[in-house]
Amino acid sequence: MQFHTILTSIALLGALALAAPLPAQAQSGAIVKTPADELMLEMSQAFKKGDSKSLSALLTQVRGHVLEPWGAYWELRARLETATPGQIQEFLTRFAGTYQEDRLRNDWLLLLGQRREWGSFMAEYPNFRMNDDRSVRCYALLTEFNSRQLDVARQVQDLWLAQREADEGCAAAAEQQLKAGRLPPGSAWLRARLGLENANLRVATQAIGLLNSDGAASVSAIYANPARYLDGKLLALRPRTKELVTLALIRLAVSDPDAAAIEVGKLRWKTQLTQEERSWVWGVIGKRAAMRLSNAALAYFLNGQDQFMHDDHLAWKVRAALRAGQWEQVSSAIAAMSEAQRQDATWVYWRARALVQLAKTDTERAEAQRLLESIAGVNGFYEQLALEELGQRISAPVRPTALTSDEQDGARRNAGLQRGLHAIRIGLRSEGVREWNYSTSLHQRGGMNDRDLLAAAALACEHEVWDRCINTSERTKTVIDFEQRFPMPFKDAVLQRARQIGLDPAYVYGLIRQESRFIMEARSSVGAAGLMQVMPPTAQWTARKIGLNNFKPQQITERDTNIAIGTGYLKLVLDEFAGSMPMAAAAYNAGPSRPRSWRGATGGPVLEAAIWAENVPFTETRDYVKKVLANTTVYAALITGQPQSLKSRLGLVGPRLGDAPELISDLP
């Protein structure tokens, strides 16, 4: 990007901001809350404060309100530990079939498990419809083993290892299976490895604490100072000591993969650690090096054996191999993944691409074709790329048959959907979203079919609750309505603004859909606000750059101001990265300095943007780039009515020229 070009871009944005007033702010009708609505909001605040006395007093005043089930849930949940079984059963009976009934049942089951009241637990567990709480499922497996000696070890291990935090339920079930000899001690050490690799000391110490009381202290010491367990004096390694050394190497690899590579390569560890132990450590080293985009990453991985590495290690090995153009390693690493991970569209696509590169027979070429056909479609990044590999482009599917009056009325009569809409309307968005999701997820248990989901999505669209419209429509399997999945609210404002400043409106829509799902009042945990989720410092800086005079911070959630500033900033980062949509999307999400570094050093490889995006170290940004570009391709098909190419929007990504100035910096 030449300096004079970006200056011209800034001047153009400024001129447009000054010469063309923003479109009039859409004046949606103000929400009128009833006195009972205000009481519900007051109850919500009392629940967050744990004020059970106020909740009990307020509950009597909201009888008959559409959100009364929420009020009753808050009131009983706040005093659940002292409630009688009769009070709980009365609630479950009165609100039978509601989200609140099953939510309280979930809470009650957890409490029964903690209290070890297994008779009451097993009497209630079969009624738990959501059954989506791993801790509750672990308690259930624990009781099944106690009562019937069923073989539950594998299920317990899978649930325990999948828990991101140190929970009580799965730890209790794992402890039971360890003591019974159904789970080997290695399961606890594996849990500890994952804990230290993810910098979660509590997970690691809890796991080893199940084996012996002093083990947790040893793990804590390793976390604080791994060098202690890598001392040359520790030569006569017993099994437990070897595991502690492995944990120390993992801890070192997380902070300094190059130092860990030197350490694990020493002769004493080659002779005293098993191939499995060393391979796991090399997997951590390779992963951490790959996340730093180190050219040494693939070589580190090759010191270990794929069969002993975790799925996450193998995913990063594939990424490192893609950067290095080593298709044999791409293929072998994917082949070593678990069956579940291998079926993910990401790895199906790259396995097929590797086969195309390596195929020597018609059978191998046919297998590559079969793999691409198995995922090809218009939904999703790799699905679209697979479609293009097969010689097709991305077009919006034909809209399904219009909803009938009965189908629409069925959605309007659904009490859960109505509660969800009302909660969102009065400002209880979190509660409304959970209620809505529960009501629309019932199709998994014989409730809503695809047509019902389309009707529910249409109801959300009608009320301009765009995130529920999109998410509900995305749940359909065979009947697909792209105009629901990819709505275009505020179309005149977005198209006019995008075209004024030379942005592809499909790109703007693709980004907004990912950022906020078109929720104007959306605000992130770090302070990003509005449709385009602009951070306050970025808003101030961009407003000055585009000549938006007298900008006030509170204006950032106003629709047209947010669009003007968001598109203005997007245009600037797009120009900064010479029109690369993937890099500009990464910059929009993670700040400009990071994608600059992710390009690699001068003289480095020029990559397919799909390979570059897959190697983005931040999971959030990696997924963000892929989703924004896939969204953009669909929106382009909807806006133009013509087939589109994702590949043409991706292009190539190579190192920045050494003398190119950096004109946009990360803002505080």
Domain regions of the chain by residue span:
35-127, 405-480, 489-653
Consecutive 10-residue averages of pLDDT for the chain (668 residues): 44 43 40 92 98 97 97 98 97 96 98 97 95 96 91 96 95 97 96 96 96 88 90 64 93 97 94 95 98 96 98 98 98 98 98 97 97 97 98 95 97 96 97 96 70 97 97 94 96 94 97 96 88 93 90 91 95 95 97 91 85 97 98 97 97 78 60
The neighbouring-strand residues paired with 523 are 529
Sign of CA dihedral 289, 292, 298, 299: negative
Predicted confidence at residue 442, as pLDDT, reads 64
The neighbouring-strand residues paired with 529 are 523, 534
**Is CATH 1.10.530.10 the classification given to domain 489-653?**
yes
Predicted confidence at residue 665, as pLDDT, reads 64
- Side-chain-side CA neighbours of 187 within 13 Å: the count stands at 24
Predicted confidence at residue 446, as pLDDT, reads 58
Helix (H, G, I), strand (E, B) or coil at 529: strand
Q: Contact, 580 vs 507, CB < 8 A?
A: no
Between the alpha carbon of residue 103 and those of residues 74, 92, 106, 474, 597, the distances in Å are: 11, 10, 5, 24, 45
For helices 619-640 and 581-590, the axis angle rounded to 10 degrees is 130
Predicted confidence at residue 4, as pLDDT, reads 41
Helix, strand, coil percentages, rounded to 5, for the chain: 70, 0, 30
